[in-house]
Structure 1
Amino acid sequence: MKAMMLWEPGRMELVDLPLRALGPGEVLLKVEACSICGSDLEGYHGQHPKMTLPRVMGHEVASTVVQVGPEVECLSVGDRVAGMGSLACGQCPPCQAGKRDRCASPLSPGFTAHGAYAEYVVGRAQGCTPIPDDVSFTEAAVAQPAGIANHAVSTRAAVCPGEVLLIQGCGPIGLSAMMLAKLRGATVISTDIVDYRCDLARGMGADLVLNAHRDNVREAALDLTSGRGVDKAIECVGGDQDETIPEAVACVRGGGLVVVVGSFAADRATLPVIDFKFSEKTVTGSQSMPEGYGPIFDLIRSGKLDLAQLVSHRLPLEEVDHGLKMMDTKAENVIKVVIEP
């Protein structure tokens, strides 16, 4: 099969790889669409803490089941699925005892096992979610970042009707969070430092959009709330959060909540701890999408959530490298790149 191999940071090549035999609980998936994730950029630059090289990246995948391995009963050939789950390592004591579902060191496709920037990928049947017939492969491929946003909005922030939110970042997760918060009846301030992303947020329904490099976000938040501050903030930027997290804390009211979704560039960030004590503000994290794909698929099917508008580019497999570079430099008004092998 054809696959895009990352040999070393910044160097990818189209290669031929053999298809391996399937183990218990595994399925062979024909990749129909795979969207580029921000964590892929970390891997591309050699900055992902878990990625090993050489590696076929890609994990935001929608595919068709073409073969099922032993002990697979939940999926059949021809099923349309999103995600692929982790894989058993085959080496730890549980795996050696035949209990691969209890693997102590699971392999993560795209990071510690080969992923979906390829014609085919091996996945774990239990980690695959059936795609409804009226949801496209492209929508399913970008449903994962929307699922991450959904966990932050619906569970970690528990957004309620009438609340005022600050959502930092107008990338795929930030825009998804904005749309989901609006569906829950919130007023949303969206911020970014890239003008075309601000324009997109404005067109997608944000109540107030600010360029965080030009506008005074705190003053605008106070003006909108008659000096009180926003109820909650969701940080979807990541990277150097010494700027975004303190800004979020400054914008929320006393007793307010900041939910951090963006991935840290470092293991430390400067926080205004006096606000935690005297204003009883809270900073918490949000990780992954434990609610799964179901809530997102339901919203897509109902017509309430349009994820297709996040997809700015569709590229063939051999142009993964170009897609990564576009996302890295935010060239060509890129938002979300979907690879279609």
Structure 2
Amino acid sequence: MLAAKLPKLETVEVVEEPIPEPGKGEVLIRMKASALCRSDLHRYHGTQIFDEDESACYITPGHEPCGIVEKLGEGVTRVKEGDRVAIYLGLGCGTCPDCLKGDVMVCRDFRCIGFAVNGAHADYMTIPEENCLLMPDEMDFITGALATDVGGTLYTACKKLELNGTKTVAIFGCGPMGSGGILMAKGFGARVIAVDTDEKRLALASEIGADYVLNPAKGDAVAQIRSITNGLGADASIVTAGNNAALNSALDCVKAKGIVGQIAECNSATIDPSNQFLRKMIDLKGCWYFNRSDWEELAEFIVNKPIELKKICSNTYPISEAETAFRLFDSGKVQKVVFVWDD
């Protein structure tokens, strides 16, 4: 089988490997779609997100996949061969309170596919059966891949921010995650203000449903948000751009007792806690991935609304062209790039 590897800095190689055998409690997945993520680019540029060691160069990246169950390992009972499944990216201890509640992403022993173990940018992968998320018949494979990291994270964020038809949310950053946030927030019925300095991204934001698009390079976005909301400020904001300016604007633009959801990875930031946080009595919520038990609810939401996640897929490639796909995605000129496999 073919598998993409990141053997050294800013280098992608596609290699031949044996098809893996599923172990006890595992299944073999024949991949159908696997989306590139900004986190893949951290590995590509040599930046650590998790505690990776030198062996990481041998690990196949990819943590936003879906495919078809090809083979069952010993003791597998909950999925069967031929099942269409999306893949939950988190591996936990399986016994702590967080794992038992489905919040695997906060387990102390959390590991991520594509970082700790071989991921999905390959023809096949093995995964514990509990990481298999059964896809509705109406969900295509590209949507299935995008429904996990993008869809699941932003669906959960919209719930945490209590969005509905009476709320206005400002989304800072209109890359893949921000665009997914626009789609999900509109699904919840909210009025959406999209903020980005890239006019092409703002054009897509309008196309997929944003009610207002603002470019902070051309005017004071916070002031414009206050004007749109009759001087009150937005009910909520979502930060999908990993920089200090985006976080500060998100804090500044919400009204008193508003809610801010932080999604973008950001190792440091400087804020004004007294004026932006305490005296406004706002809630700042970390929004990272989704509870595994929410998948059925999430999948039904995507199918029934419907949430057209495929609109944020800019380009598709076979895994044999992984180097080209990585370079394009790294350019920042596109939205989601997805590896696909045809029958």
Q: Does the pair score TM above 0.5?
A: yes
Q: SS state of the match for residue 125, structure 2?
A: strand
Is 1:152 matched up with 2:157?
Answer: yes
Aligned residues: 321
Matches of 2:299 and 2:169, distance apart in 1? 24
Is 1:282 matched up with 2:287?
Answer: no
Q: SS state of the match for residue 256, structure 2?
A: strand
Matches of 1:229 and 1:263, distance apart in 2? 25
* Highest RCO, 1 vs 2 (Cα 8 Å, sep ≥ 6): 2
Letter of the aligned partner of 2:69 in structure 1? V
Deviation of 1:147 (Å): 1.0
Match of 1:44 in 2: 44
Deviation of 1:232 (Å): 0.9
Deviation of 1:88 (Å): 7.9
Q: SS state of the match for residue 298, structure 1?
A: helix
Distance 1:106 1:16, change over 3 A: farther
What does 1:117-266 correspond to in 2, within 5 Å?
117-144=121-148, 145-154=150-159, 156-238=160-242, 240=243, 242-264=244-266, 266=267
After TM superposition, where is structure 1 displaced by more than 6 Å over at least 4 residues in a row? none
Matched-pair contact (CA < 8 Å) for 2:21–2:126: no
Distance 1:165 1:186, change over 3 A: same
Match of 1:33 in 2: 33
Distance 1:288 1:84, change over 3 A: closer
Letter of the aligned partner of 2:38 in structure 1? G
Matched-pair contact (CA < 8 Å) for 2:2–2:16: yes
Distance 1:261 1:32, change over 3 A: same
Matches of 1:10 and 1:202, distance apart in 2? 33
Matched-pair contact (CA < 8 Å) for 1:3–1:15: yes
Matched-pair contact (CA < 8 Å) for 2:4–2:121: yes
* CA displacement, residues 152-187 of structure 1 (integer Å, 9 cap, x when unaligned): 001x21113211111111122212222222222221
TM-score by length of 1: 0.89
Q: SS state of the match for residue 62, structure 1?
A: strand
Match of 1:112 in 2: 116
Deviation of 1:110 (Å): 0.4
Aligned partner (choices 320, 323, 326) of residue 324 of structure 1: 326
Aligned partner (choices 49, 72, 79) of residue 75 of structure 1: 79
Deviation of 1:84 (Å): 4.9
Q: CA RMSD in A?
A: 1.9
Letter of the aligned partner of 2:151 in structure 1? A
Point out the more displaced range, 43-52 or 187-196.
43-52
Matched-pair contact (CA < 8 Å) for 2:59–2:115: yes
Structure 2 alignment gaps of length 5 or more: 94-106
Q: SS state of the match for residue 12, structure 2?
A: strand
Is 1:302 matched up with 2:314?
Answer: no
Q: SS state of the match for residue 57, structure 2?
A: coil
